[in-house]
Homo-oligomer: A and B are copies of this chain.
Amino acid sequence: MLENRIRNKTLQNKIMSADEAALLIKDGMNVGTSGFTPSGYPKAVPLALAKRVETTGEKIKIGLFTGASVGDELDGSLSRSKIIRKRLPYQTNESLRKYINDGECEYLDMHLSHVPQYAQYGFLGKLDLAIIEAVGITEEGGIIPSTSIGCSPTFIKIAEKVIVEINTSQPLELEGMADIYIPNDPPHRKPIPITKVNDKIGTPYIPCDVNKIAAIVVTDIKDNVRPLAPIDDISKTISGHLIDFLEHEVKVGRLPKTLFPLQSGVGSVANAVLGGLLESSFENLLCYTEVIQDSMLDLLDSGKALFASGTSITPSEEGLIRFKENINFYKDKIILRPQEISNHPEIIRRLGIIAINTAIEADIYGNINSTNIMGTRMMNGIGGSGDFTRNAYISIFTTPSTAKNGDISSIVPMVAHHDHTEHDVMVLITEQGVADLRGLSPKERAKLIINNCAHPTYQPMLKDYFERAQKSKFKHTPHMLSEALSWHDQFIKNGTMKRLP
């Protein structure tokens, strides 16, 4: 069994327990791991490290770099044991989120396409150790990644030592789905030769100097995938508006009937959108995205979508069974790439991606907050939303028009944190409707967003703000700075953005 997985004989003597491997992690180190939106991340070694620190009371603080979000075995256990000193570039774990917002760890919220190149350029400091989940190691020491690629190729390349977690719960049939390509550094960079979603340009394994492999740990802990919430009515309405918008673009000749390759973000609305496409009239869809979830498998199964390129596959329990049973069907239709490539501006602009991401809030001028609730509390992070939004053919943001039972308006005078600016956002969609911001000035955008996207409860308040702001001396981006963030401030103090009696 294991010979299938660890094919390089000289590496057999590197097999050890997770407890032993975890001893390689020392205080002050920077550790880079596999894992993307939580799949394909190492589990046994971080769990062993947390257990040890909790038992011995040893002081270990590390910088933890990943592809994107990882499961509780890694982010949860290491933050509860206060082992994470610095963390980048994205997370969705409840314990870690609390740890960050309590000010206990330094969190860098980075564009996902930037991570590999910053690491490679030496901008993030020395990488001492990489911990990579794999389904196998080739004869030459090449690492066959499991369900995500993320930053693993770069982390393996630059780390001093590598720990491989061979996860036997991950099907070996994943072999062949990865396409590993690492760009040269300037001044030796060449065009990345992808011109179609399904172009393969690299190797099916991650090259690795065998001498760097310091430990191999065999485990069968499953990816701790999050169950997707059932699709609610608001998400369904948003998805309907989005599909109407896309159909209109086809009708006026700005998009072909097959659309252009789709990127779809994370979260419940994003899931509903893919569900909506399943019932739409579009055919022969292509996806060039980050995460491949069950709804994407549905699109492939039904023939609606022909191909999906991503950097991680995150099926549910049920989805994983389906995936394994039909692995040869999917192998022709899915490529997993490093996030440097899945999120690369060069490819995104070349392919003409339609980018669909979820906002926490938007303002009347079209700026988007994706990350900091009330301007201060980190939710997840910007993820790949900036990589895609800035370079897309059409960049779309969706959000329900209210949150917290209507006490929060997701359309505000000024967002309390800016992740995507007015220069980058083309279309905003809520359950109320669509605002197509292309070609519009700030004031034209404000009228459309207030009329089409804001909730009726907050529409009069937004109109009032906008009208009074226009009486100020300077009328390019009319604002009253003393009131611009007062909606948030009032929510913090009184628990509602509604006008107080």
Contacts and interface: CB of A to CB of B under 8 A. Distances in A.
Interface of A: 86, 100-103, 106-111, 114, 117-118, 121-125, 185-187, 189-193, 195-196, 252-254, 256, 260, 344-346, 349-352, 367, 372-378, 382, 386, 390-391, 393, 416-419, 421-424, 426, 438-441, 443-444, 470, 472-479, 481-482, 484-486, 488-489, 492
A197 B474 CA distance: 41
B440 A477 contact: no
Given A191-B192, A477-B372, A485-B481, A186 B346 contact: no
Nearest to A470: B103
A476 B100 contact: yes
Contact of A107 (B103, B352, B441): B441
29 contacts: A100-B476, A101-B473, A101-B474, A101-B475, A102-B475, A108-B439, A108-B441, A110-B423, A114-B423, A122-B253, A123-B438, A186-B351, A187-B196, A187-B256, A187-B260, A187-B352, A191-B193, A191-B350, A367-B418, A372-B476, A373-B474, A375-B477, A375-B479, A376-B473, A376-B478, A376-B479, A378-B477, A390-B390, A417-B477
A290 B493 CA distance: 48
B372 A111 contact: no
A261 B203 CA distance: 31
Contacts of A367: 418
Nearest to A87: B441
Given A101-B474, A124-B439, A376-B473, 12 more contacts: A101-B476, A107-B476, A114-B423, A122-B254, A123-B426, A124-B438, A186-B351, A187-B256, A344-B349, A345-B349, A376-B472, A481-B486
Nearest to A122: B254
Contacts of A195: 189-191
A439 B474 contact: no
A312 B99 CA distance: 50
B416 A481 contact: yes
